Amino acid sequence: MSIQNFPSSLQGIIQQGFLEREFQDPLQSKIAYRSLADKESVPNKIGETLTKTRAGLKAPVTQPSVAANNTNLDNGMTPSTFSVEQYVLTLNMYNDTIDLNIVNNKVGLADQFLKNARVNGVQAAQSLDRIARNKLFNAYLGGNTRVRVTLGSPAATVSVDDIRGFQFTWNAAGQVVPVSSANPVNVVFASGNVYSCTGATADGTNVSTAFNGTSGTLTFATNVTVLDGTALNAVVQYNAPTILRPSGRATTAALTSSDILTMGLLLDAQAQLRNNAPMEAGNMKAFLDNKSMRQLFADPDFKTLFQGQYGSREYVDGMVFNLLGIDFVPTTEAPVQAASGSVTVNVRRPILAIGGALVEGDFAGMGTLMENETQIVHEADGVIQVTRPPLDRLGQIIAQSWYWIGDFCPPSDITTTQNIIPTASNAYYKRAVIIETAG
């Protein structure tokens, strides 16, 4: 790419390659949740929704064939097929920019130029990681909520704290469809009673206390009793992902200050993943904030594992890197929910996950979209940096920008049933387990 349009005072800086290096390094060092994603190149237009299809497996055959039926061209066999499931990627553009006035800037030109590139890189990395985190938690928190307002009498609509996980389901063909009377989902209340949910409607004003939650009402095919429709009662979609809480707490609002992270909870989450994904669950990652890590050090089971090993790497560094087949990834991007309303404690959400819990769809050919003779384009880990030379009348203002076109999606595993893996749960999402604790 030619750089003759840049001021001569800057050409030397760019020719040394410092700008690209300064932009790339922060991207690699800041990624956390994004590391879970399997990357795919999506050759589609911005804003287009792309439906991807994943094939399941066929159930094992455990009965011998009948010899007398081994006749004709089909040898007595009836053809069978595998089931499929779909997930959706919607491509969007994310971007930001920063300007540098090469005359008015009081800082040394080279330092400020490189600093801008570094700041852009850190921002891009953090942005993509947060988008990935939000998509992951939106899926794995879905279908687990509680009654928000007690019913005055039996009714077919119930106000709940969060309608995520109740809005969409999968039909028999593996397609994502809205929950409706034609495509209902079973919902279990705290009493164990099961109702058929036929729709979910968001409130005009969102008052959810859940992380990224959406408050609203659920509509059922039959009336819900007042006993079931009492405020704070658990409401769980039958195919909801697993959420673990200390002492078997049924909802987030039931957590108390003593409900902290323990080795037992991590082992329960690990067992859940191994039961659902035995082939993929060997490489697990636990994403958690540093206070959750501190709670782990206080756990008696953890202390027993390292009893007398005060020279161990874990105690010297104050950090757990790998334990019992789990890689620990401390991150400041872990969601922390402040106490609010019926939730009387701060809520932390470590998450144990395996690869493939996310799919990252990157728009194909991003690096060539904006390439022309008036700007320099660099790609680093899927993110594009565009440096535009001065276009103003005085030739003084340089624009340094970044953009990414793509989407993250947590694919489901609805085809992994107990016919395929006998230890599998009924959850649609099986590749991660959230642990809700106080803190």
**For the segment 210-267, what is each residue's pLDDT rounded down to a tens digit?**
999 999 999 999 999 999 999 999 999 999 999 999 999 999 999 999 999 999 999 9
Give CA–CA dist 90/212, Å, rounded. Answer: 19
pLDDT band per the 50, 70, 90 thresholds, residue 100: confident
The mean per-residue pLDDT over the stretch 186-193 comes to 96
Comparison of pLDDT for 377 and 167, the residue scoring more: 167
Give the residue carrying structure tokens 């009492």.
Answer: 230
Distance CA 345, CA 94 (A): 34
Classify residue 60: in a domain, yes or no.
no
The 3-state DSSP class for residue 404 equals: strand
139: nearest Cα among 425, 415, 408: 408
Q: Could you tell me the CA-to-CA distances from 249 to 235, 431, 436 in Å, in that order?
A: 13, 22, 9
For residues 300 and 279, what is the distance between their CA atoms, to the nearest angstrom?
31
Distance CA 178, CA 198 (A): 9
Angle at 218 between CA 212 and CA 222, to 5 degrees: 160
Percent of the chain past pLDDT 70, that is, above it, reads 85
Would you say residue 158 has pLDDT above 90? yes
pLDDT at 83: 80
Residue 231 domain flag: yes
| Assigned domain for 222 exists | yes
Q: Which residue has the tokens 């060092």?
A: 29
Total structural domains within the chain = 1
Give the separation between CA 69 and CA 399, rounded to whole angstroms. Answer: 76
DSSP-based three-state secondary structure for 18:
helix
How much is the average pLDDT of 105-123? 74
Between 47 and 430, the higher pLDDT residue: 430
Q: Which residue has the higher pLDDT, 438 or 297?
A: 438
DSSP label of 254? G
d(CA 137, CA 165): 11
Nearest of 226, 236, 212, 211 to residue 146 by alpha carbon? 236
Question: Is residue 401 within 8 Å of residue 320, measured between CB atoms?
Answer: no
pLDDT value of position 239: 95
Q: What is the pLDDT of residue 10?
A: 64
* Residue 118 covered by a domain: no
Q: Which amino acid is at 330?
A: P
> From CA 20, how far away is CA 225, in angstroms rounded?
63
Domain membership flag for residue 246 = no
pLDDT in tens, 286-321: 999 999 999 988 889 887 877 655 555 655 455 557
Lowest-confidence segment of 61-70, 244-253, 396-405 by average pLDDT: 61-70
Percentage of the chain beyond pLDDT 90 is 49
Residue 30: which pLDDT band, with cuts at 50, 70 and 90?
Answer: very low
Q: How far apart are CA 168 and CA 199, in angstroms?
A: 9
Out of 134-138, 256-260, 376-380, 435-439, which region has the weakest mean confidence (pLDDT)? Answer: 376-380
What average pLDDT does this structure show over 347-373? 83
The Cα–Cα gap between 23 and 284 comes to 30
Q: What is the pLDDT of residue 112?
A: 78
Q: Is residue 217 part of a domain?
A: yes
The more confidently predicted of residues 9 and 286 is 286
Task: Look at residue 314 in the predicted model and tell me its pLDDT.
Answer: 53
126-130, 155-159, 332-336, 368-372: range with highest mean pLDDT? 155-159
CA 52 to chain centre: 17
pLDDT at 157: 98
Residue 384 forms part of a structural domain: no
Check if the beta carbon of residue 381 is closer than 8 Å to that of residue 28. Answer: yes
373 falls within a domain? no
Instruction: Please tell me the least confidently modeled range out of 139-148, 216-225, 235-244, 412-421.
Output: 412-421
Per the listing, tokens 């840049």 go with 6
Cα separation, 375 vs 403, whole angstroms: 14
The parent domain of residue 164 ranges over 146-239
| Distance (Å, whole) CA 384 – CA 355 | 25
Q: For the residues 92-115, what does the mean pLDDT come to?
A: 77
Residue corresponding to tokens 């009402």: 217
Helix axes 109-140, 18-29, angle to 10 degrees: 30
CB atoms closer than 10 angstroms to residue 400:
21
**What mean pLDDT value characterizes the chain?**
86
Burial 166-184 (b: 16+ CB within 10 A, else e): bbbbbeeebeeeebeeebb
